[in-house]
């Protein structure tokens, strides 16, 4: 521990509204989802190189300690049952303040109690902090790596993590947006109101690039193209320019050649073979491709 903390206050509060416990990964995402809404900010995520600690930092933020504890001590206490977690902030005198919450044994599960502790270097009490930081100590390094990977794959604007299916841990299955969808990527969120459009808006440029290459080179047509075709038809597609740039880069990397003139359109693969697309474009991926190439002419 970098500092020696003195206990400023310790109090017990009833845990109202405590629901059935989820796996700690789910509880962490629920906590971060609610903190993001509360602060109106997105965090940066760090991890110790060889240890088991994950840090979640909200820069340029300020908050009242009582408000934070009232809102989030139940989540902190539930997570602490599996993984030790605490919150830090900087007081006006520049010292670090540590906040923690722990579930205490109760006579019945319907009447749990939380012990909330505030500590500081000086032992002096304060009521507000700047720069919220959460520290999570996972059970082992492997778990910390998985949690870090999940959080760094998160698009904090949509609260959706986009990952390869092969990277999904079994403990995350209950957080899948839809485990039955035929999508190229896996989408993870604790928000119950996620739409296909939200999933599209969660994709990074590199992931859009992968999708285009999967279609152009491997002839794969995952659900993402169906979602995108629907968004285009309804004129609600987000960041169309990035999809166009990803298509351009995919063709460049694949060494595809395109001839797109006023009355002539031809597309050749890396072997010089011309690729044909049906005039009806029944394939969602083909419709998306043609609409990106011909935004004014193709209907």
In angstroms, the Cα distances linking 215 to 108, 178, 184, 197, 223 are: 56, 22, 11, 20, 11
Please list the residues that pair with 115 across neighbouring strands.
12, 102
Distance CA 44, CA 141 (A): 20
Is a pLDDT exceeding 50 seen at residue 112? yes
Is a pLDDT exceeding 80 seen at residue 163? yes
Task: Give the per-residue pLDDT at 196.
Answer: 94
Is a pLDDT exceeding 60 seen at residue 107? no
Q: Per-residue b/e over 147-180, b at no fewer than 16 CB within 10 Å?
A: bbebbebbbbebbbbbbeeeebeeebeebebeee
| Angle CA 250–251–252, to nearest 5 | 90
Whole-number mean pLDDT of the chain? 89
Least confident of 27-36, 39-48, 191-200, 259-268: 259-268
Q: What pLDDT, in 10s, does the model give residues 214-255?
A: 999 999 999 999 999 999 989 898 889 999 999 999 999 999
Q: What is the mean pLDDT of residues 127-155?
A: 95
Is a pLDDT exceeding 70 seen at residue 279? no
Is a pLDDT exceeding 60 seen at residue 47? yes
Is a pLDDT exceeding 50 seen at residue 108? no
Q: What is the mean pLDDT of residues 28-53?
A: 94
Task: Give the per-residue pLDDT at 110.
Answer: 62
Task: Give the per-residue pLDDT at 270.
Answer: 80
Is a pLDDT exceeding 50 seen at residue 298? no
pLDDT greater at residue 204 or residue 292: 204
pLDDT greater at residue 16 or residue 271: 271
> Considering the entire predicted model, what is its pTM?
0.87
Q: What pLDDT, in 10s, does the model give residues 8-18?
A: 999 888 776 55
pLDDT bucket at 2, cuts 50 / 70 / 90? confident
């Amino acid at each position: 521990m970098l500092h020696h903390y003195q206990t400023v206050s310790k109090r017990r509060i009833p845990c109202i509204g405590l629901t059935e416990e989820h796996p700690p990964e789910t509880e962490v995402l629920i906590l971060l989802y609610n903190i993001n809404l509360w602060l109106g900010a997105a965090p940066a995520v760090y991890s110790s190189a060889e240890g088991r600690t994950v840090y979640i930092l909200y820069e340029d933020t300020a908050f009242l300690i009582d408000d934070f504890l009232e809102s989030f001590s139940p989540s902190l206490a539930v997570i602490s049952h599996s993984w030790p977690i605490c919150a830090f902030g900087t007081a006006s005198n520049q010292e670090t303040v540590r906040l923690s919450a722990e579930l205490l044994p109760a006579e019945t599960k319907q009447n749990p109690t939380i012990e909330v502790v505030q500590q500081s270097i000086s032992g002096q009490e304060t009521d507000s902090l700047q720069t919220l930081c959460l520290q999570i100590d996972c059970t082992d390094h492997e778990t910390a790596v998985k949690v870090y990977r999940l959080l760094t794959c998160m698009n904090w604007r949509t609260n959706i993590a986009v990952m390869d299916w092969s990277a999904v841990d079994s403990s995350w299955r209950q957080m899948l947006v839809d485990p039955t969808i035929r999508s190229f990527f896996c989408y993870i969120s604790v928000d119950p109101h996620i739409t296909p459009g939200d999933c599209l808006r969660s994709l990074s440029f590199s992931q859009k690039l992968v999708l285009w290459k999967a279609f152009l080179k491997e002839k794969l047509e995952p659900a993402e193209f169906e979602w995108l075709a629907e968004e285009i038809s309804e004129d609600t597609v987000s960041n169309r320019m990035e999809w166009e740039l990803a298509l351009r880069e995919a063709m460049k990397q694949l060494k595809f050649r395109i001839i797109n003139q006023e009355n002539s359109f031809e597309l050749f693969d890396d072997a010089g073979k011309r690729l044909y697309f049906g005039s009806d474009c029944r394939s969602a991926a083909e419709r998306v491709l043609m609409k990106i190439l011909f935004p004014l002419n193709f209907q």
